[in-house]
């Protein structure tokens, strides 16, 4: 039982005098938004991505050009595959 008294005294000596912090006030940015922390995290990740891309010398324009080129290549491939199927079908009809 004496150890209980010792624990209580230790708590009083070391922790009881520490003031409790009040909860933070909601900022204008987060007030009223249920998913503000996710939105804030997404914004932070976007900013980090942009920063790291700029460090690597990658520009948003270069990314857009790359995506445009990839899209054009996919469309060309789909068109070529479609033409090949039509040619196969026509050859099957001729025989």
Per-block average pLDDT, block size 10, for the chain (95 residues)? 67 69 64 66 89 85 92 97 93 78
**Looking at the domain assignment, is residue 66 inside a domain?**
yes
**Looking at the domain assignment, is residue 86 inside a domain?**
yes
**Looking at the domain assignment, is residue 74 inside a domain?**
yes
**Looking at the domain assignment, is residue 65 inside a domain?**
yes
**Looking at the domain assignment, is residue 69 inside a domain?**
yes
60 vs 54: CA distance, rounded Å: 9
9 vs 16: CA distance, rounded Å: 10
**Looking at the domain assignment, is residue 72 inside a domain?**
yes
Where do the H-state alpha helices sit in 1-95?
2-14, 36-56, 60-94
How crowded is the C-beta side of 85, counted as CA atoms within 13 Å? 6
Contacts of 33 (CB under 8 A, 6+ apart): 39
Report the predicted TM-score, pTM, of the whole model to 2 decimal places.
0.43
pLDDT at residue 71, as a whole number? 97
**Looking at the domain assignment, is residue 82 inside a domain?**
yes
- Count of domains forming the chain: 1
pLDDT at residue 21, as a whole number? 66
Residue 93 sits in which domain range? 60-95
**Looking at the domain assignment, is residue 84 inside a domain?**
yes
């Amino acid at each position: 039982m004496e150890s209980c008294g010792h624990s209580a005294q230790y708590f009083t000596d070391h922790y009881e005098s520490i003031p409790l912090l009040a909860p933070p006030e909601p900022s204008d940015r987060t007030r009223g938004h249920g998913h503000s922390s996710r939105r804030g995290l997404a914004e932070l990740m976007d900013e980090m991505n942009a920063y790291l891309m700029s460090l690597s010398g990658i520009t948003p324009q270069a990314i857009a050009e790359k995506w445009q080129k990839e899209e054009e290549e996919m469309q060309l491939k789909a068109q070529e595959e479609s033409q090949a199927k039509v040619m196969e079908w026509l050859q099957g009809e001729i025989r």
